[in-house]
Amino acid sequence: MAFISPLLDKPAPGWKYDLTTPDLPPTTQPHPSASSTPPNYVDDVYLELACAKLRVQGIGIWLSVFLFFCSILAISILSAYISMTDSAPSFIISIAFTITFITSVWGGIYCWRMDVEAPRDQPIRFNRLRRKVYVYRFFHDGRRPFSRSAWGIRVEAYNWDDLRAEACSVYGPMGTGGFIETVTLAVVSPGTNKVIDRFHFAHGIQQGEMYWAMAQLFMQQGPQALPHFTRPPRDWNNEKVTFNLARRLAPKVKWPEDMDLESRTAP
């Protein structure tokens, strides 16, 4: 940890501290035992790290089924009440059933799309020779679960020197209560601390610090500065997902041809 007061305008939600900037040496040494996920790929030109925002896929699809069942149940109970009493329910009961139905359908569609439409991975490529970072991102809008334009894949390129890493800790609705710790990457306007974009980088601060250190070492010194990972990289597109329906339906990672070529080659 190098900075104990926010560097950026404005800091990420739940900001704890900033990691060192791209031009400085990393404050930690990456070690293979500290991560269960080795880099997707590394050579003299680029380093690719797996950075999926969803830690687990497969839960939302069953939650959506439950929510759809709740919406059907609400309509069924309301219809049964009308047929049995031969009268319309009170205003409060009608509002309660309507809110239950709309919320269940809304939440069901959102959970389904988050589980099924999120790609199997959201990799980030660090191109050392171009000094560029290429981000494969899944964007979504919970306020518009039925929209096509608000959901999809966005591939973007940023200057390496314009990235800033932040460690964050926010309260999450976990079963026993607790904090969710992440590391996010912010993109600043050149020569300033004004944030123009921000995206997820890693689950857990330890994982994020190691990932950021790997990116710094690679961009500053090359692949020879990285530790040797004994475990082979994970093939996200061709992994066996026999029982996970969401992983079966999730789209594979497919970079646009021009961006794929640019991110893997020298200028």
Confirm whether 67 is domain-assigned.
Answer: yes
Rounded to whole angstroms, the Cα distance separating 109 from 146 reads 7
Provide the pLDDT confidence category of residue 19 given band limits of 50, 70 and 90. Answer: very high
Tokens of 256: 């646009």
- So what's the pLDDT on residue 130? 96
Boundaries of domain holding 185: 15-54+122-227+259-263
- So what's the pLDDT on residue 9? 86
- The answer on pLDDT for 178 being more than 80 is no
Average pLDDT, the chain: 87
The amino acid occupying position 36 is: S
- Which among 62, 140, 76, 67 is positioned nearest to 105, based on CA atoms? 67
Sequence-separated (6 or more) residues with CB below 8 Å from residue 212:
19, 26, 165, 183, 201, 202
Residue reference for tokens 């900037």: 21
Confirm whether 153 is domain-assigned.
Answer: yes
Residue range 209-234, pLDDT digits in tens: 999 999 999 999 999 999 888 888 88
- So what's the pLDDT on residue 248? 80
Rounded to whole angstroms, the Cα distance separating 252 from 232 reads 19
Confirm whether 161 is domain-assigned.
Answer: yes
Helix H, strand E, coil C: the string for 113-151 is HHHHCCCCCCCEEEECCCCEEEEEEEECCCCCCCCCCCC
- So what's the pLDDT on residue 176? 44
**Are 99 and 168 in the same domain?**
no
**Are 185 and 212 in the same domain?**
yes
Length of the chain: 267
**Are 67 and 144 in the same domain?**
no
Rounded to whole angstroms, the Cα distance separating 16 from 35 reads 21
**Are 166 and 218 in the same domain?**
yes
Provide the pLDDT confidence category of residue 242 given band limits of 50, 70 and 90. Answer: low
**Are 198 and 130 in the same domain?**
yes
Tokens of 63: 């939650």
- The answer on pLDDT for 175 being more than 60 is no
3-state helix, strand, coil in the chain (%, to 5): 35, 25, 40
Confirm whether 238 is domain-assigned.
Answer: no
**Are 134 and 204 in the same domain?**
yes
CA distances from 188 to 5, 35, 72, 161 (A): 17, 28, 47, 9
**Are 93 and 221 in the same domain?**
no
CA dihedral 151, 152, 155, 160 (to 10 degrees): 40
- The answer on pLDDT for 35 being more than 80 is no
- The answer on pLDDT for 54 being more than 80 is no
Total number of domains in the chain: 2
| Greater pLDDT, 61 or 265 | 265
What ranges make up the beta strands (E) of 72-231?
124-127, 132-139, 152-159, 163-172, 178-188, 195-203
Helix H, strand E, coil C: the string for 39-67 is CCEECCCEEEECCCCCCCCCHHHHHHHHH
Confirm whether 3 is domain-assigned.
Answer: no
- The answer on pLDDT for 2 being more than 60 is no
Confirm if 187 and 179 have CB atoms less than 8 A apart.
no
